[in-house]
């Protein structure tokens, strides 16, 4: 794979990036991470991603051992060494290995890693043109009282089982509920519903995505009413438009929910609100208030 990784203080090819099988990041999903992206040679909202990563580390009592400035430098250097103009850039911190025979997390030495690889789409451009087929899965999302979804984490078995269910039902991806009929999120994305000039996205049980934040801001600029609140599955089915938000695609239109086309639309008939927000989102990538040029020339 084309790309570059940073492990144990050294830049290496992706295939040489290793983690011990005894690292609790592997054994217990005891880790946090964040994903920024580079588009046409510019990082998008990098400082917001670093804010969230640092907050997640604090919440989990993890210490990446690098200053914010150094983490930023590492991310730029991974992209520079890989020579990528469009990139998916992840930074992560694992709990590390405990003292031999110990189950005390205080004995672990935390590990910071990062990598840059070619841009990863949640839905590729062709799927975005026609809209994705979304399934409401039967597994309930891990409750926020157990794992705070605002801390980006690798606890994805509920999503993985939901994805298998979605594929078996002819869908392309899945959204999970809180077990009480309210929409939460999907693997790597938040969910939005449009009702006329009102845009609704779940307020609880979700990662507060950077793309989600961007689309909320853009919708408000468009003069739309944005509501962060509970969103029932039955209400979602009645929406005029449904779209997903993700670093891996921006605003991604949903064509069908559980096999039923949203408002009877044909594939490729993207709703007007979704289309406007999608275009506005990508136009921000060259705005210096939101983006920063990769340091390629060093």
pLDDT recorded at residue 298: 60
CA distance 199 to 196: 8
For 105, counting Cβ atoms within 10 Å of its Cβ (0-12 exposed, 13-18 middle, 19+ buried), the class is middle
Sorted by sequence, the CB contacts under 8 Å of residue 281 that are 6+ apart come out as 211, 214, 215, 218, 250, 251
CATH of the structural domain 125-285, one choice from 3.40.50.9100, 3.40.640.10, 1.10.10.10, 3.20.10.10: 3.20.10.10
CATH of the structural domain 4-118, one choice from 3.60.15.10, 3.40.30.10, 3.30.470.10, 3.40.50.300: 3.30.470.10
Sorted by sequence, the CB contacts under 8 Å of residue 58 that are 6+ apart come out as none
CA distance 2 to 192: 33
pLDDT recorded at residue 295: 84
Instruction: Give 10-residue mean pLDDT values along the chain (298 residues).
Output: 94 96 96 97 98 98 98 97 97 97 96 97 90 97 95 96 98 97 97 98 97 98 97 98 96 97 93 96 94 86
The CA-atom distances, in angstroms, between 181 and each of 28, 78, 233, 235, 256 are: 29, 42, 6, 10, 19
pLDDT recorded at residue 90: 98
- 117, 14 Cβ separation under 8 angstroms: yes
CA distance 138 to 2: 37
Q: Where are the domains of the chain?
A: 4-118, 125-285
């Amino acid at each position: 794979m084309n790309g570059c990784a940073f492990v144990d203080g050294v830049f290496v090819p992706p295939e040489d990036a290793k983690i011990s099988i005894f690292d609790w990041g592997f054994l217990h999903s005891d880790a946090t991470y964040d994903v920024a992206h580079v588009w046409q040679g510019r990082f998008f909202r990098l400082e917001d991603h670093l804010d969230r990563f640092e907050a997640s580390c604090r919440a989990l009592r993890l210490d990446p051992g690098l200053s914010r400035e150094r983490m930023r430098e590492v991310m730029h250097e991974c992209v520079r060494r890989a020579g990528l103009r469009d990139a998916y850039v992840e930074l992560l911190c694992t709990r590390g290995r405990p003292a031999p025979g110990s189950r005390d997390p205080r004995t672990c030495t935390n590990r910071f890693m990062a990598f840059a690889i070619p841009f990863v789409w949640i839905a590729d451009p062709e799927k975005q043109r026609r809209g994705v087929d979304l399934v409401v899965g039967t597994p309930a999302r891990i409750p926020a009282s157990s794992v705070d979804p605002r801390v980006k984490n690798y606890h994805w078995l509920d999503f993985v089982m939901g994805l298998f269910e979605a594929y078996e039902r002819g869908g392309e991806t899945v959204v999970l509920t809180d077990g009480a009929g309210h929409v939460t999120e999907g693997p790597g994305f938040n969910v939005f519903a449009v009702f006329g000039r009102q845009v609704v996205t779940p307020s609880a049980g979700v990662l507060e995505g950077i793309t989600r934040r961007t689309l909320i801001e853009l919708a408000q600029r468009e003069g739309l009413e944005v509501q962060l609140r509970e969103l029932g599955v039955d209400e979602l089915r009645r929406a005029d438009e449904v779209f997903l938000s993700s670093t891996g695609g921006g605003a991604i239109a949903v064509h069908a929910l559980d096999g039923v086309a949203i408002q009877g639309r044909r594939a490729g008939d993207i709703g007007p609100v979704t289309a406007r927000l999608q275009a506005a989102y990508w136009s921000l990538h060259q705005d210096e208030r939101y983006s920063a040029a990769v340091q390629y020339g060093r």
